[in-house]
Chain A
């Protein structure tokens, strides 16, 4: 996988072998977060996603290095595209939290281990407040254009002042190679230098008290859809 643009390097991690992970599980010292994410399972899933999908990322620097953010992608229900998003966004050093997991055992808890969460506005609000990157899909739509976006998923980000980042995924070569284009967070100027408004490496996130988008929910939804359409058309 290659990363273009101003992508931050993935944080340095101590090499973690299979034996270490098995030992952690045996002793119960592996990490689980309140939304069900299991660090070892998520790392394994991200590794498998990288094996399955070769992803080229453009504009990764638009993703905040810390703090909460809502990423809106053009497709979310196609497993191959989910893998591409998972592999691409994982390069930021953070686990993307895909909304839409059903609250049914055993499917829900299994998907939560890898980072999925419910598409509940209050769950999105809690995740953003905890500084997580939440990924919400547009509704599928035929004809190469972006579909609709549920305002109740955008509202928590607007209220929290978290960046809303449009992302477009385009596939090729039999669903193996993908282009992942990360757009400028909605409500911000392209001319603003990366890092000055909480969107670059080490910048302060609006979800942690930085600069909000200044948009209403409806405006944010429209701007996000336009942003994704621009990325798809560019």
Chain B
């Protein structure tokens, strides 16, 4: 089975490629991204192409002629790229991936990394939507994900391929570039004073396992994937021994500016999570082998906070400064 992993230069993409390398059924494995893999890959052919270069990306994907596409080339704003570039890479990269894969023939399955941001958090909408709730994204990232879902569904249906769309809760964990993870690791964490709604997250390792299970199994359709349980922002701050800071109305502009100065920009989907909450119903994932996360949401946050801070090394003495 020939498998292509897009977005292989991200933490998630690299981990998925390593898990696929261990599987005997994957005879050929290729990865494509604008950044190189974050760790050494033993038998993955890496193609370094910028997703915004549509012609080159399409040609590179077509040359691989994959039977299975694991499309992780979905870029979260302020994670690895600023919001405008992230949206462009997601949109052009998705279209190019599907054009190349369907044009080559032989495509059987597509696994798409999507997110629960597609449901949006409009007034009166369910706070923990199941997979059957129509997506109504209310953030830039949510709209970007939704467009990717529509492009993949359309192209795959014309090619007769199966699509597994995994809508992940925010993926956080040690080493994982995530605006939410960076914000929660600040010494002070803002929370909505009048609401402090719950949200769920998923660990990067659980996300990688779920993607591999979907790629190698028979999962089809949409599946919500989130760690069990939920936490509020003030609760997360307490879990990490941070200072919870209540924020109200215009105070979010100040909080966002301060957080950005501290190295943790707050894109609109993260602010929406903090003010309106972000959970999903996960009954379907629980019924699918290998897809349900092992770590609960509080456990994922504990792992995030247990990640030791970077300690500068004094070059002269070789000891920690």
Contacts and interface: CB of A to CB of B under 8 A. Distances in A.
A36 B197 CA distance: 7
Contacts of B198: 32-36
Interface in B120-179: 123-130, 132-133
Given A27-B238, A28-B231, A129 B130 contact: yes
Interface string B191-220: 010111110100000000000000000000
B63 interface: no
Contact of B124 (A25, A112, A120, A126): A120
Interface string A13-48: 000000000000111111111111000000000000
B194 A31 contact: no
A32 B235 contact: yes
Interface residues of A, number: 27
B19 interface: no
A109 B298 contact: no
Contacts of A33: 198, 229-230
Contacts of A105: 192, 194-195
B235 A126 contact: no
A126 B195 contact: no
B127 A28 contact: no
**Interface core residue of A36, A112, A126 (most chain B CB under 10 Å):** A126
B283 A129 contact: yes
Interface of chain B: mostly helix, strand, loop or mixed: loop
B125 A120 contact: yes
A106 B230 contact: no
A26 B128 contact: no
A9 B232 CA distance: 32
A122 B235 contact: no
Interface string A108-131: 110010000110101101100110
Nearest to A108: B195
Interface in A78-128: 103, 105-106, 108-109, 112, 117-118, 120, 122-123, 125-126
Given A34-B127, A34-B279, 13 more contacts: A27-B238, A29-B239, A32-B229, A32-B231, A32-B232, A33-B229, A103-B124, A117-B127, A120-B126, A125-B132, A126-B128, A126-B283, A130-B281
Lowest 9 A-B CB distances belong to which pairs? A28-B238, A34-B279, A126-B281, A123-B126, A28-B239, A106-B194, A129-B283, A105-B194, A34-B128
